[in-house]
Amino acid sequence: MNKDRLREFAVRVTQANQSQLIVILYDILEADLECATDAINAKDYKIYEKELRHASRVINQLMGALDYRYPLSYDLLSLYSYLNKKLVCAQMSRSNQDFPEILDLINDLRVGFLEVSKQDNSGPMMQNTQQIYAGLTYGKGTLNESSLNPSDINRGFKA
């Protein structure tokens, strides 16, 4: 995954509440699979395996975020285990033939959690983060994004 994409995810994480973080994890998983597909098409197996290992870690994060007070969590755990097994098989066979199925499942789950996140009115999980004011300016052949934070000196976690 390139640095711009990582930066985009980092900004989203700082502004997200709990249910939005799950949606972001699905987006990261999808980005990992896209990068893995690009890598295998370029026959760069080192990057391919790196992206799949990262995707497995994301699935492990999703497993860790499950709340077992709800019976649905056990179904999601089974599904995440299945996805993880598919990723391990893809890594061993150096094939992306199962990626469409994995992406379909991820997309279905993402849509469900996106709807949940729209109803979640809780605040961001991270406090004292950089306030993002999105702004775009157009130039000749360029599109510039800028952010403004008047109190930038106190950003990050308070210990």
- Report if residue 98 sits inside a domain: yes
- Report if residue 39 sits inside a domain: yes
The CATH number that applies at residue 58 is 1.20.120.340
Burial class of residue 41, CB neighbours in 10 A (0-12, 13-18, 19+):
exposed
Number of domains in the chain: 1
pLDDT given for residue 37 in this prediction:
94
- Report if residue 52 sits inside a domain: yes
- Report if residue 150 sits inside a domain: no
| CA gap 83, 149 in Å, rounded | 40
pLDDT given for residue 32 in this prediction:
93
- Report if residue 85 sits inside a domain: yes
0.85 surpassed by pTM = no
- Report if residue 159 sits inside a domain: no
- Report if residue 145 sits inside a domain: no
Q: Which two tokens stand for residue 77?
A: 């755990």
Task: Centre a 10 Å sphere on the Cβ of residue 130 and count the other Cβ atoms it contains.
Answer: 17
- Report if residue 152 sits inside a domain: no
What is the identity of the amino acid at 102?
Answer: I
| CA gap 153, 95 in Å, rounded | 47
- The domain of 77 spans 3-119
Q: What are phi and psi of 121, to 5 degrees?
A: -100, 10
| CA gap 29, 65 in Å, rounded | 15
Burial class of residue 51, CB neighbours in 10 A (0-12, 13-18, 19+):
buried
Per-residue tens of pLDDT for the chain, all 159 residues: 778 888 888 888 888 888 899 999 999 999 999 999 999 999 999 999 999 999 999 999 999 999 999 999 999 999 999 999 999 999 999 988 999 999 999 999 999 989 988 888 877 777 766 666 666 777 777 877 666 554 555 555 665
Kindly report, residue by residue over 31-43, the tens digit of the pLDDT: 999 999 999 999 9
How far, in Å, are 29, 48, 64, 123, 157 from residue 127 at the CA level? Answer: 25, 35, 22, 9, 7
Closest CA to 35 of 14, 12, 60, 9: 9
